[in-house]
Amino acid sequence: MDEKTKSGIIHDLLKSVKLNNGFYLWMAFLSVSLVFCLTAYYQQLTTGLGVTGLRDYISWGMYISNFVFFVASSLIGMLISSVLGLTGQKWITPITRMAEIIAFAFAAVAGLVIVSDMGRPERLLNVFIHGRFQSPILWDVTVVTTYVMISLLLFIVPMVPDLAIAYNNRTDLPKWQRLLYKLLSLNWVGSKEQKDLLHKAIRILLILVIPVALAIHTVTSWLFAVTPRAGWNSTIFGPYFVTGAFVTGVASVIIAMYVFRKIYHLQDYIKEIHFDKIGKLLVLVSLVYLYFNINEFLVPGYKMPKHESITLHSLFNGGHAIMFWFVQLAGLVIPIFLLLLKKFRKPTPLLIIGIFVFIGAWLKRYLIVVPTQEHPFLPIQNVPQSYTFYQPTFTEICITLASFILVLIIVSVLAKVFPLIPIQETIDERNNKTESHEE
Amino acid sequence: MKSSFILIVVISLFGTFVKAQTPWVVPDDKKGLLAPIKFSDDTRKLGLEIYNKTCVSCHGHPGQPDQAKLVPPPADPASKVYQQNLDGELFYKITEGRGLMPSFKKMLKSEEIWNIISYVRTFNKEYVQKVGASDSSSGVKGKVTAKLNYTVKNNKIEVKVIQQINKMPINGAKLSLYAKRNFGWLPLDEIRSSNSLGIITFNYPNDLPGDKDGNVNVKINMANADGTEQTIIDTIIKTEVKRSQYNLLDNRTMWNVRSMAPIWLVLSYCGAVLAAWGVIFYIIWILLRIRKSGSETSN
C-alpha cells in the first residue's frame, strides 16, 4: 500500500474536495437545526437573560461552561502541530490539518459563546473601549482573538503547496473553488526561495502558537482563579486547565479522525497505527490531567477548610456527586486503564472511549463553573427559592447546541472545501521513506 | 481570669433578668408627669415615624404578635397591660430604660418621646389625654445662653451658662458634652454641674480625630427636669488631631480604573499584544513575499 505513486496520492487526497449531494444534505440539516436554535437566541435577545436559568447568585452557567470547553478543545492545534511536530513526531502528518480545523472552529465559536452570555451584546465593543488592563476579561478577549488568528494562519500556511496541487489537478471544480485555491496558493511554484520562506513562516507560527495557546487557557482559568471563592481559589488552575484541554482536544481529534476516515475513505492514510498512537497520547495527557485532579481535590479534601467544605461535599457526596464521579471515572480513570490495552486502541473502541472522554470533559467544565457559585461566602437571603440553585432552561440548551452546530458547520466546510490530509507532506514523507529504503 | 470574667457576666445578666421580672416601679413624683403638648394627628404622625425607627425592632407593630423574642418579652404597646401605664410612667420608662430596654434620654428629645406616646395611645380607645402645664420641660427656668471656650493647650472645654434675660450665671445646670462621629453623637467626659459662676470645665480627649483640618463638631446638652436633654451649643472646634486622608484610589493599583493601572501590568499587556501581533504581521509579510516570488518565477 505504501508504494502508491505521487499521482495516486494526489488523486486519493483530492477526491473529497468536490461538493456532493451528501454534503449539501448534511449542510441543509445543520442549517435548519441552527436556524431552529437561533430562534431561541432571538427570544433571549428580545426578552433578556431571564429566559435562562441564570440568576443573581449563579450568573455563570451553561454558556460559560461551554466557553471554557470550547477554549479547551481549541488547544489541540497547538499540541498536535507544535509540540509533537516540533519534536519530530512523523505519525501526526495526516491529522495535523484536522487538528487545526478543530482548533480554529472551537476558538472562533468560543468568542461567540461569550456573546451569548451577554444580556446586552451590542455593548461588546465596550470591552475594548473601556477594558481595564487589570481585568482577566480584557486579557481573555485579547488572547482569544489572537489565537483565532494564529489558528487560521496555521491552517492556511502549511496548506499553500497543497492548494497549488489542487488547483493544477482538479480542473473540474466549480469556478469559485478554483479561484479560492488560486488566491490562497500564493502563486506557489515550489521554488527554493518559496520553500524556504514557507518553512520559515510555519516554523515561526509553530513556536508562536505555544505561548499563545498556553496563555489562552491559562487566562481562561484566571477568570476563576483570581477570585478567592471556594473551588476557584487555586494556584494550579492554569496548568489544571491546560492539561484538561489536551484531554478534550485529543478526544475531539479521535472522533474527527474516525468520522472523516469513514466518510472520505481514508483508510490508506489514517491507519490503525495512527489510532494506536493517538490512543497512547490520550493516556499520557489523561494521566497528567488525573495528576492535577488529584492535587486539586485531594489536598483541599484532606484539609477540608470550613469555607470550602460545602462546595467539596456537594461534589464528593452531595448534589453534584453523580456527575462528579461520572466525570472522574468514565471520563478519565476508566479510559486510562482501558487504553493501556492494545485492543482498545483500535478505531471503534477508541471512538467510544473518545466520546465518553468528550462528554466527561464538557460536564467537567460545568462542575468547575457552577457548584462554586451555589455556595457564596455570605448567606443567600431574601430571594426566591429558584435563585439558590442552577437549572439550565430549554432556551439555554438550544443556544448551547447552536454553538456546537456552528462548530460542526465550520469543521464540515473547511474539511470539505480544502484537502483534509496534507498532500505535499505525505508525498515528501513517502519519498523519504523510499529513499531511506534504497540507501 | 477568663472564667471569672464569664462568671461575672453571667451573674450580672442573671441579675438583670431577675430585676427585669420585678414590677417596674416609677417614682411617684414622675408618675404624674403630663405632656406639655396637646396630642394631635401631627404628633401621632411624627410619633409613628420615630416608633418605626427606634421601637419597632423590639416592640413590633402594635397589635401584632411580632415582638422580638427576648427575655423578658418586650410589651406590645396595644396590650392592656401596656396601656395601663400613665403618660408619666411611659415617659419615665422610655427615658430611663431598664435591662434590655435602652434609655432614650440621650437619643430622643422630650418632645419626640411625647410624640411616641401620642402615637401608642391611638391603640387605646378609652384614652383621654390630660395636658400638663405649659412648658415645664426645662430644669432651668427661662431661656438660656451659653458660651463655649476650647483651649488646645490643656484640652479643656469651658462652658459658661447664663440666663438670657438678666445675664445672670446659672448655678447647678447639668451639662454633657458630645462629639459628632460618623455613627452619631459620641458622649465625652461625664455629666458635670455648673458652679456659682455658671462655669463648667470638660476634659476633652487628646486623641479624638477631627476632619482633615482637625475640626470637630461638638454639642453641649443641658438636662431638663423631666430627664431629657436640650442642646444649648452646637459648634465646630478646631483641634490638633487631624485625620490623615488616605484615598485608596490615589495610587496605581489593581482595583483602580484603567488609567490608574499598575505600570508593569500595562507594559506586560501591551508588550505581549505587540509581540504576538508583530509576529503575526511578520508572517503575513512573509506570505506576501512568497506570492511575489511566485509571480516573478512564473513570469
| Ranges of each domain in chain A | 3-274+393-429
Quote the CA–CA distance of A229 and A380 in Å, as a whole number: 15
**Longest CA span, chain B:** 122
Flag if A153 and B261 touch (Cβ within 8 Å): no
Q: Does B251 touch chain A (CB under 8 A)?
A: no
Chain B residues with CB-CB distance to A153 below 8 A: 280, 283-284
Predicted local distance difference test score (pLDDT) of residue B140: 62
Flag if B276 and A197 touch (Cβ within 8 Å): no
Residues 165-224 of B with CB under 8 A from A: none
Let me know if B61 is exposed, middle or buried by CB neighbors in 10 A (0-12, 13-18, 19+): middle
For residue A251, name the pLDDT band (cuts at 50, 70, 90): very high
A209 → chain B, closest CA residue: B276
For residue B270, name the pLDDT band (cuts at 50, 70, 90): very high
A129-138, A174-183, A428-437 — which is least confidently predicted? A428-437
> A189: distance to nearest CA of chain B, Å?
6
pLDDT digits (tens, 9 = 90+) for B5-46: 665 655 555 555 544 467 888 888 888 888 888 888 889 999
For residue B137, name the pLDDT band (cuts at 50, 70, 90): very low
Chain B residues with CB-CB distance to A142 below 8 A: 269, 273
- The predicted model gives A33-42 an average pLDDT of 95
Peptide bond into B205 cis (omega under 30): no
Chain A residues with CB-CB distance to B293 below 8 A: 187, 191, 193-194, 197
Flag if A153 and B277 touch (Cβ within 8 Å): no
> B283: distance to nearest CA of chain A, Å?
6
* Res A376 pLDDT > 80: yes
Among partner residues B262, B266, B286, which is closest to A200 by beta-carbon distance?
Answer: B286
The count of other CB atoms within 10 Å of the CB of residue B203 is 14
- The predicted model gives A76-102 an average pLDDT of 92
**Which of the four CATH numbers 2.60.40, 2.10.25, 1.20.1630, 1.10.3470 does domain A3-274+393-429 have?**
1.20.1630
Q: Does B71 touch chain A (CB under 8 A)?
A: no
Written as nine digits, the cell of A282 is 490520550
Quote the CA–CA distance of A347 and A47 in Å, as a whole number: 46
Written as nine digits, the cell of A54 is 441564570
> A58: distance to nearest CA of chain B, Å?
23
pLDDT digits (tens, 9 = 90+) for B32-90: 888 888 888 889 999 999 999 899 989 999 988 888 888 888 999 999 889 989 888 99
- The predicted model gives A237-242 an average pLDDT of 96
Chain A residues with CB-CB distance to B272 below 8 A: 215
In this structure, are residues A34 and A402 in contact, taking their beta carbons and an 8 Å threshold?
yes
pLDDT digits (tens, 9 = 90+) for A328-374: 999 999 999 999 999 999 999 999 999 999 999 999 999 999 999 99
In this structure, are residues A419 and A162 in contact, taking their beta carbons and an 8 Å threshold?
yes
Query: Number of helices and strands (H, E) in chain A?
Result: 19, 0
A209-223, A238-252, B12-26 — which is least confidently predicted? B12-26
Residues 106-135 of A with CB under 8 A from B: 130-134
C-alpha angle A144-A147-A151 in degrees, rounded to nearest 5:
140
Predicted local distance difference test score (pLDDT) of residue B136: 44
Name residue B46's amino acid.
L
Q: Does A197 touch chain B (CB under 8 A)?
A: yes
Quote the CA–CA distance of A426 and A438 in Å, as a whole number: 18
For residue B4, name the pLDDT band (cuts at 50, 70, 90): low
φ, ψ for residue A189, nearest 5 deg: -120, -10
pLDDT digits (tens, 9 = 90+) for A278-289: 999 999 999 999
Q: Does A33 touch chain B (CB under 8 A)?
A: no
For residue B141, name the pLDDT band (cuts at 50, 70, 90): low
Q: Does A160 touch chain B (CB under 8 A)?
A: yes
* Res B197 pLDDT > 50: yes
Predicted local distance difference test score (pLDDT) of residue A151: 94
CA A50 to mean position of chain CA atoms: 29
pLDDT digits (tens, 9 = 90+) for B237-249: 988 888 877 788 8
Predicted local distance difference test score (pLDDT) of residue A302: 94
Quote the CA–CA distance of A58 and A391 in Å, as a whole number: 10
Q: Does B53 touch chain A (CB under 8 A)?
A: no
φ, ψ for residue B232, nearest 5 deg: -105, -20
B275 → chain A, closest CA residue: A208
* Res B163 pLDDT > 90: no
For residue A384, name the pLDDT band (cuts at 50, 70, 90): confident
For residue A201, name the pLDDT band (cuts at 50, 70, 90): very high
Closest by CA position to A58, among listed A321, A319, A423: A319
- The predicted model gives A3-20 an average pLDDT of 87
* Res A149 pLDDT > 80: yes
Flag if B293 and A194 touch (Cβ within 8 Å): yes
In this structure, are residues B233 and B146 in contact, taking their beta carbons and an 8 Å threshold?
yes
Predicted local distance difference test score (pLDDT) of residue A82: 92
Predicted local distance difference test score (pLDDT) of residue B22: 78
**What are the DSSP calls for A6-61, one per residue?**
HHHHHHHHHGGGS--HHHHHHHHHHHHHHHHHHHHHHHHHHH-GGGSS--SS----
**What are the DSSP calls for A84-101, one per residue?**
IHHTT-STTGGGHHHHHH
pLDDT digits (tens, 9 = 90+) for A158-178: 999 999 999 999 999 999 999
Predicted local distance difference test score (pLDDT) of residue A39: 95
Percent of residues, chain B, with pLDDT higher than 70: 88
The more confident residue out of A382 and B113 is B113
A257-261, A278-282, B222-226 — which is least confidently predicted? B222-226
pLDDT digits (tens, 9 = 90+) for A93-114: 999 999 999 999 999 999 999 9
Q: How far is CA B30 from CA A418, B25, B108, in A?
A: 100, 10, 18
A219-223, A233-237, B186-190 — which is least confidently predicted? B186-190
